Amino acid sequence: MKNNENIKTVYRWYWNWDFKKAESWLNAMSMQGWALKKIGFCKYTFEKCAPNEYAIRLEFRPALQKANADYVAFLEDLGAEYIGRCANMVFFRRKTELGEFELFSDNASKKAHLDLIAGCVFALMMMNLIIGIVNCTLNRAFGFGWISLVVAGMLAYGLGKINAARERLKEDSTLYE
């Protein structure tokens, strides 16, 4: 962690399926008077601010998804500030004085967001699984094939976490019907 009086840089890793955990941590930093200013790969740069001045929200949004510029412009019209993108995760902040800041207004939009993440994680898992099986079968020696299989296993774990979150949303939906 590098820091000076008004700028702080923290290095941290989050999986895409843990975006809520990352979002909670970023909002806790805001509560302590550190607003997210810039994002990089595992690198979060904060600037000093009033405690709880900003609410931070994250969204998994593939770069190739249609209307990204229009979407960002729409959120900026609502007072949100686009901080940046790290791979497929987009970061926004908005002053808390403007009121509640949510990117997903209902369980259907939350589920659609989780489905999008699950689709990407599933594709990566299958790709690593196939690469691992092919490499282990052809090489028959310890090598990169095993690494792909371990990564596939980690991604399968992530899919399990996403499915658990989807089930919780389904339970919440039936609870209020």
Q: Give the span between the Cα atoms of 93 and 151, in whole angstroms.
A: 32
Q: Over the chain, what is the mean pLDDT? A: 88
What DSSP string runs through 105-116? -SHHHHHHHHHH
For residue 2, what pLDDT is reported? Answer: 54
DSSP 10: E
Q: Do the beta carbons of residue 80 and residue 94 sit within 8 Å?
A: yes
Q: What is the mean pLDDT of residues 25-31?
A: 96
Q: Do the beta carbons of residue 36 and residue 44 sit within 8 Å?
A: yes
For residue 174, what pLDDT is reported? Answer: 64
User: Is pLDDT of 14 > 70?
Assistant: yes
For residue 140, what pLDDT is reported? Answer: 66
* Local confidence band at 177 (pLDDT 50, 70, 90 cut-offs): low
Q: Do the beta carbons of residue 129 and residue 152 sit within 8 Å?
A: yes
pTM of the model: 0.82
Instruction: Please state the length of the chain.
Output: 177
Q: What is the mean pLDDT of residues 143-169?
A: 91
Q: 38 by DSSP, 3-state: which?
A: strand
Give per-residue pLDDT as tens, 35-72. Answer: 999 999 999 999 999 999 999 999 998 875 655 788 88
- The b/e string for 117-129 (b: 16+ C-beta within 10 A; e otherwise) is bbebbeebbeebb
For residue 136, what pLDDT is reported? Answer: 81
